[in-house]
Amino acid sequence: MAWLPLLPTLILTAGALLLLLAEAFRRPGSAAGMAWGALWITALGTGATGVLATWGPLEGIYRMVLWDRGAFWLSLTILVGTGIAILFSQRYLADRGIERGEYYAFLLLAAGGMLLMAVAADLLVVFLALEWLSFPLYILAGFARPQPESEEAALKYFLLGAFASAFLVFGIALIFAGTGLTNLSDLAAWLRRPDPGAQSLVWIGGALLLVALGFKAAAVPFHLWTPDVYEGAPTPITGFMAAATKTAAVAALIRVFWTGLGPAMDLWAGPVALMAAATMLVGNGVALLQSSFKRMMAYSSIAHAGYLLMGLLGEPSLALPGVMFYLLAYSIATLGAFAVAVRMAGPNGEDQSFGAYAGVARGSPGMGAAMALFMLSLIGVPPTAGFFAKLMLFAAAWQAGWIALVLIGVITTVISAYFYLRVVVAMWMDRPEPRHLPRPDPGARLSMALSAFATLFLGVLWLMLGGLSL
């Protein structure tokens, strides 16, 4: 049973390969079938995750992978994100004329890599998973070829991603050089009784890991790729990256910095706190100035990386539920927002400026209401899930004594209300006459409805249970 922690990854990867084969042999015009296939495979992966939910800590493959409660919640968030992204992709690809079946195969492949990250217990697996999830994303970012923006996004993402990966490998190498270990829990044991001579290697290695993972999570000052890539990538992929990739990157941070470098927390807490503060301030601040929804969401994604980094500073047993719930709430609200945003694409191209959103809610009030809900959740207004997620994270950081950081978090939250509500205002009030978008397809409608329901339901559920005991 050593490979059980890998089960979700294996299912998605095998599914991706099957889809690739199917793509090689399918008849033209049957791309919708590919979407269905991908959806079923995601559902199967979710089912496997559900079956594994109650299983206790489960190590396997030379202790390189580990299934635990955290792995379950991370996997669930990733799979939910993947499923919703598939739901609203199909019509978008058709509208943009880029309906190629490889899309779904790569999406599943990336998700498989993310799921591997969720169970990583070894630095080598962290590296493997990071590359695994990154390569399909590089391709997907450029999937709207021959659109120059999309190709630019792919190239930028690839170059900088490779650059960051180099830091990761070098960091792992330094740690290995210092300790001869790659297993994270062994590393933690080593750090509790460090060898003074090799300590410096490990710490510098850790700093380089922070660079690489901070890059993937889009933390300041490693965030600069984010707006360009998010803007250029096809809109569903942007949503998928904002939600699922963020989850995987935070998973890596959790694994490396809590499981592995946890005993050295005093050392890394300072820089991480600085990064968190800078990320919250820059993300929320620059988001104010954006005039395009996708770019705004890119800075929103950066800003939320800041809140999540803040959660990393809490005492792990207290902060872990907060981080998990935050990832889930953030992912769902973000994907819901992108499910609305993909409706802005038509045969004539795609306009994501706020001006294009004007009056949309008068034409389709359901979409307007859903968008308002997602934005409220991203701000963190009760009773949406986002509020309780922020509450838990802030509480964890507060209890760990990061009071100034919490204050920055609160202030930036207030700032964030301004830009999140701007799109809502545009949709409802900016133009007196309604703007009629084509009626959303069932997939997009379903993804909107699911996200809206989950956003409210998670909030109410939290209230009812008085805090999820994850």
- Which residues here bind another protein, judged by CB under 8 A? 17, 20-21, 23-25, 155-156, 159-160, 163-164, 167, 177-178, 180, 195, 197-201, 203-204, 206-208, 210-211, 214-215, 221-222, 224-225, 227-228, 267, 270-271, 282, 285-286, 288-289, 415, 418, 464, 466-467
Give backbone dihedrals phi and psi of 53, rounded to 5 degrees, phi first: -50, -45
Question: Could you say which DSSP state residue 432 is in?
Answer: S
Q: Cα–Cα distances in Å, from 14 out to 115, 168, 196?
A: 13, 27, 45
For residues 363 and 383, which CB has a smaller minimum distance to another protein in the complex? Answer: 383
Residue closer to another protein, measured from CB, 60 or 285:
285
Contact yes or no for 82/331 (Cβ under 8 A): no
Cβ closest to another protein, residue 30 vs residue 346:
30
Q: How far is the CB of 265 from another protein (least distance, A)?
A: 13
CB of 200 to another protein, least distance (A): 5
Give the nearest distance from C-beta 347 to another protein in angstroms: 26
* CB of 6 or CB of 339, closer to another protein: 6
- Which residues lie closer than 8 Å to 370 by C-beta, 6 or more apart? 336, 339, 340, 448, 449, 451, 452
**Toward another protein, which CB reaches closer, 47 or 200?**
200
Q: Do residues 275 and 307 touch, judged by C-beta distance below 8 A? A: no
Cα–Cα nearest to 469, from 318, 277, 301: 318
Token pair 């659109």 is at which residue? 147
Q: How far is CA 328 from the centre of its chain?
A: 9
How many Å apart are CA 408 and CA 417, to the nearest integer?
14
Instruction: Provide the minimum distance between the beta carbon of 2 and another protein in the complex, in angstroms, as a whole number.
Output: 11
* C-beta of 167 vs 325, nearer to another protein: 167
| C-alpha span between 245 and 137 (Å, rounded) | 9
Least CB distance to another protein at residue 307 (A): 18
Q: Is 292 helix (H, G, I), strand (E, B) or coil?
A: strand
Residue 17 Cβ vs another protein, minimum distance, rounded to whole Å:
5
Q: Which of 289/407 has CB closer to another protein?
A: 289
Residue 291 C-beta: closest distance to another protein, Å: 12
**In whole angstroms, how close is the CB of 444 to another protein at the nearest point?**
28
**Residue closest to 325 by CA, chosen among 405, 394, 272:** 394
Determine whether 414 is exposed, middle or buried from the number of CB atoms within 10 Å of its CB (0-12, 13-18, 19+): exposed
Q: Which residues pair with 292 in a beta bridge?
A: 353
In this complex, which beta carbon is closest to another protein, that of residue 25 or of residue 56?
Answer: 25
